[in-house]
Amino acid sequence: MSEEFKEKLRRYSEGTLPEEEREELESELVKLEAYQLYLEEQMEREEQDGQATGSWTKTDTQAPGFKKAKKKRREKSIIRRGKWKARINNTLTVFSAFLIFTVITSIITTVFYNTGDRMNTYRDVVESAIAVTRPNTTVRLSADVHYFFRLELSGNLLKQVGSESIQVGSYTQDLHLGLANISKFNWTDERNGSGKVFYYPSAEGTARGGDDNNQWKRLAKLPEGTVAEAYLLLSHLYTTDELLKQLEPLNLQPVWFGADTGPWERDNDVVVHPLGFPYQPMWHADDMKRSEVTKEKTGWFSSVSSFSSVSPSVESYGSGALRDANFIKTLKLLQQHQTLAGRAAYINQLDTSVAYLEKNGVKLYGAVVTGPVKELLKLREASWVSHLQVGEVRLWNWTE
């Protein structure tokens, strides 16, 4: 018996052999059993033929040694056949138990993640954690329920550059009965993963970002037919409405705002772990307003309900109070699921930051904008911008 065949028998008995190989092995076992029976029949036939032809004398067949050998062969045959039957029965029992366990765990997994809207909640938490900690980075996750209590969240990481959303990486997150593993970011360019550095406005009203002449020179050398992403550091703290009014006359698209969440978020005015919110609010399930529900009967005892959800209305360059409230509400959602949020992104002192925002209000120290290069160059003369860093650059895709 070859080692390969022995290995297949071992995996067969453990129930880990692939279905195709398992069927082949079972076929081989049937052949072996048939071959063994054939050999036994041949031996018995030879004994009978020997007695008929007189090749064995009566004395030979009645000799104690002959009878003992014949009995021993039969015992070995019975034992061998019993062993194979026991192995096959054990294997079938293990395989059946495995199938039953798989079906039961699948049912439990599906019920668990769909009870209380857990799946959508987990997805919302991860998407929100990335949106508030990574400037101009969003992810739209799909949720797939797998066997053995596992839920996989996955999606593409996107940045807005100009009028288009570009893929800068992918994200995956595994959960087992709600317990999250470490998230996996796969960046197309590692620079996207590290992000840009924000600086907090100093007491003198200027950001301690150093000399940004090289950034302006880089921006000026870009062709006019390009769009770019720019990280803006503000001359002082602005409210959301104040900053939006500054941006309104410009042919630019704001995409993210950096919010002051307390002195613990910065080291020597360098914002180590920024917290902020995207220009488009992060609406959650209870924010959506359902339109009139319509029901269509599909059978005697069944019907299908349909409705549409509408998010609250937001002014393009206003609704500061609504945006601020949405930001704080999102952070409170992350508070309720701090372990999962912490697996998706690093958030420094979340509870303290929420308390600070509720006490002092939302004040902004930076923003991320995108648009035509020639429009970004105008910001050099803006008194409210103290520093600029150039991010992603793309060919013209701008829609006025």
Q: Where are the beta strands (DSSP E) in the chain?
A: 138-139, 142-145, 150-161, 164-176, 179-180, 184-187, 198-199, 226-238, 253-259, 266-267, 270-271, 276-278, 289-290, 294-297, 303-306, 309-310, 364-372, 385-395
CA dist 197 to 22, 129, 230, 271, 274, Å? 57, 19, 12, 7, 9
pLDDT in tens, 94-129: 777 777 767 777 777 767 666 778 888 889 999 999
pLDDT in tens, 309-326: 788 899 999 999 999 999
CB count, 10 Å around CB of 234? 27
2-16, 76-90, 249-263: range with highest mean pLDDT: 249-263
Task: Give helix 3-14 / helix 64-114 axis angle, nearest 10°.
Answer: 50
Place of tokens 């924010």: 287
Alpha carbon distance 29, 14 (integer Å): 16
- Sign of the Cα pseudo-torsion (367, 370, 371, 377, in order): positive
Q: Report the predicted TM-score, pTM, of the whole model to 2 decimal places.
A: 0.70
In contact, 238 and 258? CB cutoff 8 Å? no
Alpha carbon distance 201, 354 (integer Å): 21
140-144, 265-269, 306-310, 340-344: range with highest mean pLDDT: 340-344
Q: How far is Cα of residue 233 from the mean position of the Cα atoms in its chain?
A: 32
